[in-house]
């Protein structure tokens, strides 16, 4: 017989009993955006952030060691280009799904796109054309 302590915060997932959670790496050069997105993802029952990276080099290093199920990449990474990271990921990890994100309105306007979904579609088409 097993006793359970009242008020215990032990969850079934922490025992490895619950369903497998999809592992996600978040790549964004802005700590507030990266940590906020990670918090939202972790609150979803079937998702967990396995790594956070602020640069292309760190992202590649973490992806090699954590083996995520999905990468979420900011299209602009400071002075680096998220599209370059995506091209590299498609070469090194062709089965890894990648989602592109941006909160920069000027990119949407420059590309004459109405919403982030269109931007994602545009970015994916552009990356596929480059690879």
Give ∠ CA 64-66-69 in degrees, rounded to 5.
100
Q: Which of 43, 42, 33 is nearest to 53 (CA)?
A: 33
Q: Provide CB contacts within 8 A for 123, sequence distance 6+.
A: 75, 83, 86, 100
Instruction: State yes or no: pLDDT of 73 exceeds 80.
Output: yes
| All domains of the chain in start order, with CATH | 19-130 (3.40.50.2300)
Q: Provide CB contacts within 8 A for 8, sequence distance 6+.
A: none
What is the predicted pLDDT for the residue at 45? 79
**Averaged pLDDT, 38-51:** 89
Q: Which helix (H) or strand (E) holds 76?
A: strand 76-77
Cα distance between residue 38 and residue 84, in whole Å: 22
Judged by DSSP in three states, 64 sits in helix
Q: What percent of the chain has pLDDT over 70?
A: 63
Instruction: State yes or no: pLDDT of 23 exceeds 90.
Output: yes
* 75-129 per-position pLDDT tens digit: 888 888 888 898 899 899 989 988 888 765 555 555 555 544 455 555 555 555 5
pTM of the predicted protein model: 0.68
Is-contact 11 18, C-beta < 8 A?
yes
Q: Provide CB contacts within 8 A for 106, sequence distance 6+.
A: none
């Amino acid at each position: 017989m097993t006793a359970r302590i009242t008020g215990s915060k032990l969850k079934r997932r922490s025992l490895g009993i619950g369903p497998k959670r999809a592992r996600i790496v978040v790549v964004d050069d802005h700590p507030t955006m990266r940590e906020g997105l990670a918090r939202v993802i972790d609150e979803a029952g079937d998702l967990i952030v396995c790594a956070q990276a602020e640069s292309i080099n760190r992202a590649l290093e973490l992806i090699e060691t954590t083996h995520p199920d999905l990468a979420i990449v900011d299209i602009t990474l400071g002075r680096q280009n998220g599209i370059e990271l995506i091209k590299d990921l498609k070469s090194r990890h062709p089965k890894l799904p990648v989602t592109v994100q941006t909160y920069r309105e000027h990119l949407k306007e420059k590309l004459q796109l109405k919403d982030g979904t269109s931007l994602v579609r545009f970015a994916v088409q552009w990356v596929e054309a480059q690879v």
